């Protein structure tokens, strides 16, 4: 009898101390505060993620002694949270966010508004065309200036070549004049003594 009672008490203690399998029930995260998903029961365990208010999780295991639930997120991530941070009903804030329309349709415009918008677009089109014309005009003027600069460069090169040619001709002319003067000086130097000697001989004969 005592042996049977001991087995019963041991089994009862294990049932309350060891985590038991839950029924894979769906729970929602409370909206009061962010809930941290941890790798274990303790606050020192690693934080895996932060659950958002109203987020849906599936209960995998329950540890009633520690007040913890092992849950699985819709993304497949698994961890432990406190039981008090889960609720069986969807929070009101989450309901409002899910029921709110994602986009609001723009109100239909009246014919007058459409006419005003058309006029504005036409005015912008005229401005764009004017700007395009200015761009084309500026580009044409730039091309003309570039052509003028090229022509001036060519004329400058031609004038420079002509100047070099004139300088060379002038140098040749001065060289020729110098040669003639030198030749004349040599010739005079040769003939002048002979002329003087001939004159002396003529005066001596008288």
- Residue-wise pLDDT for 132-184, tens only, equals 888 888 888 888 888 888 988 898 888 888 888 888 888 888 888 888 888 88
In a domain, 40, yes or no: yes
Specify the pTM.
0.37
Q: Are 58 and 72 in contact (CB under 8 A)?
A: yes
Note whether 74 and 23 are same-domain residues: yes
pLDDT of residue 172: 85
In a domain, 182, yes or no: no
pLDDT digits (tens, 9 = 90+) for 20-58: 444 568 889 887 777 889 988 788 888 898 888 888 899
What is the number of structural domains in the chain? 2
The answer on pLDDT for 204 being more than 80 is no
Instruction: Say which CATH number the domain at 59 has.
Output: 2.30.30.40
Note whether 83 and 134 are same-domain residues: no
Domain that holds residue 133: 114-173
Mean pLDDT of 58-71: 88
41-49, Cβ contacts within 8 angstroms, sequence gap of 24 or more: 41/66, 41/68, 41/80, 45/80, 48/77, 48/79, 49/73, 49/77, 49/79
Note whether 87 and 21 are same-domain residues: yes
């Amino acid at each position: 009898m005592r042996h049977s009672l001991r087995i019963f008490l041991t089994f009862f203690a294990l049932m309350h101390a060891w985590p038991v399998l839950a029924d894979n029930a769906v729970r929602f995260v409370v909206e009061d505060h962010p809930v941290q998903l941890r790798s274990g029961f303790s606050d020192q365990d690693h934080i895996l993620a932060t659950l958002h208010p109203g987020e849906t999780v599936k209960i995998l295991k329950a540890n009633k002694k520690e007040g913890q639930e092992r849950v699985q997120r819709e993304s497949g991530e698994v961890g432990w949270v406190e039981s008090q941070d889960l609720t069986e009903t969807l929070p009101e804030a989450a309901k409002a966010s899910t029921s709110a329309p994602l986009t609001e349709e723009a109100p239909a415009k009246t014919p007058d508004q459409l006419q005003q918008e058309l006029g504005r677009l036409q005015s912008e089109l005229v401005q764009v065309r004017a700007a395009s014309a200015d761009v084309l005009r500026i580009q044409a003027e730039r091309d003309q200036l570039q052509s003028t600069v090229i022509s001036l460069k060519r004329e400058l090169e031609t004038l420079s070549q002509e100047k070099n040619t004139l300088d060379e001709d002038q140098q040749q002319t001065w060289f020729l004049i110098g040669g003639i003067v030198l030749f004349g000086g040599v010739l005079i130097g040769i003939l002048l003594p002979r002329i003087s000697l001939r004159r002396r001989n003529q005066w001596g004969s008288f």
